[in-house]
Each structure stands twice: as C-alpha cells, then as structure tokens.
Amino acid sequence: MEERLQKLISAAGLMSRRAAETAIEAGEVTVNGTVAALGDKADPLRDDIRVRGRRLPANGEKIYLMLNKPRGYVCTLSDEKGRKTVTELVRDVGARLYPVGRLDMDSEGLLLMTNDGDFANKLMHPSNEVEKCYRVTVSGDGLETAAERLSLPMILDGRRLRSANVRFLKQEGDRAVLDITIHEGRNRQVRRMCESVGLKVHRLCRISEGPLSLGKLPSGQWRYLNRDELAAFARAVRV
C-alpha cells in the first residue's frame, strides 16, 4: 500500500515526520534510485526507499547489527539526564532498535542491537550464559599476579561467580592490559571484580560475545550481522 514518504520514514522510527519532510526537501531521500519530492508516495513492500543512502526496512523486517559503542553513551532509548544514547548512533538504520544487554556509560565495544524482541529476550535469559570477552586496562599493586587473582572464585552480591578466564597481555608502565572472559552478565561485573582485588579500571572494551567478534569496526560505527554470524550465534545461545 502506498503512503506518503514522510509518514513511512517516521513510522520506521528513523526521525519525526517534520524532519523527514526536511530530508525529502534536501534531496536526501530516494525511491528506486530517483530523488524523491515532498508529496511523493511509495510502497515499502515493493519500493527501495533510501534515506541518506540507507535503505528503509520493510515493515516487519528483522534487523540484527553490532555497534562499536564509544565511551560516553548510555544503553537506553532515551535518558532523563540528557546523556547521549546508543540509539543516536544507529538512527540511519531506518528502524527503531533496542540494545541487547548493557555496557555502562564508561565502557565501550561490541553491543548488539535489534528490533527482534523475542531474540533479545532469549539472549538475555539467565539460561543462556554467553561468553563475553573484555579487554581491560588496569593499574594497582601486584600487576604481575592480576590475572591469577581475577581467576580465583569470587562472591558478588552474595552469589558465587563462575570463574573467569583471564589472560595477561602486556604491561605498559604502571598499567596492565588483560583479556577477561566471563559467562554471566551481572551489573558492572568486570569492574567490580577488578575493584575487589585492588585494581583500578582505566579502560574496558567488550571485544567479543559468543562467536561474534568486534574486529576492526571503528568506534561509533555499526554493521549488519551476516547470515553465517546469525546462524552461529543462534546455535551458541539456543534461540
């Protein structure tokens, strides 16, 4: 069914209807390769609608992507304190997306986002203990034994954690770089683990989740998950 472009763009959650009208007037919207004009209509199930080069998803299309979250962004759809949100970084996708899980504001790295609520809920269910690896820069006393101490059994919020796999990568002056792999997703777990053994965290970046790796995706950028990655991830988390 054909509808006015500004209504379709707004319904996809990309921007307000007024902002969509401005984008159309600026020549930033195309339909099947032709620059659209204000008042044009299109059928999202038949036509290739693009906003600033990004295709507007058809209604009901499931989207899965990974974002390299920078520091300073919160993993919410909106923030009452006016802080920057990760949804601002994926506005050009053309659909309303939700973060799967969390990275705190001072952390960075791999964050999955989707509009598939069932997939997100299954992934975050406690029964799906997906391995997550974080590259962490720390300082404190006894850096040479940091990996060993972090690998020991720990109690957090009155519950025993599964032992983490910790690998010492290098020491740079008074700081060390570690890879810490955990299976649970407790609130600020890696930071609290480090604090419990007297280490101060200077940088924390999630570099992998299950079979997915951040790779060389630039900070603040996103990419779609490909079919093989989705299949591998579905097997890993039994969705």
Q: What is the pLDDT of residues 40-80, one digit of tens each?
A: 999 887 888 999 888 877 666 788 999 999 999 999 877 78
Q: What is the pLDDT of residues 123-180, one digit of tens each?
A: 776 666 788 999 999 999 999 899 999 999 899 888 898 899 999 999 989 999 999 9
pTM equals: 0.76
Q: Are 146 and 129 in contact (CB under 8 A)?
A: no
CA distance 22 to 25: 5
Is 132-209 the same fold as 3-55?
no
For the chain, the farthest-separated pair of C-alpha atoms sits apart, in whole angstroms, at 67
How far are the Cα atoms of 24, 30, 38, 51, 90 from residue 27, in angstroms, in the given order? Answer: 5, 8, 9, 9, 21
Domain ranges of the chain: 3-55, 64-127+214-237, 132-209
What is the CATH T-level fold of the domain 3-55, as seen in this structure? 3.10.290
Q: State the pLDDT at residue 102.
A: 85
Please report which confidence band the pLDDT of residue 232 belongs to, taking 50, 70 and 90 as the band edges. Answer: confident
Q: Are 21 and 38 in contact (CB under 8 A)?
A: yes
Q: Any catalytic annotation for residue 104?
A: yes
Please report which confidence band the pLDDT of residue 100 belongs to, taking 50, 70 and 90 as the band edges. Answer: confident
Choose the catalytic residue: 104, 106, 116, 179. 104
Q: Are 225 and 66 in contact (CB under 8 A)?
A: yes
CATH dotted code for 64-127+214-237: 3.30.70.580
CATH dotted code for 132-209: 3.30.70.1560
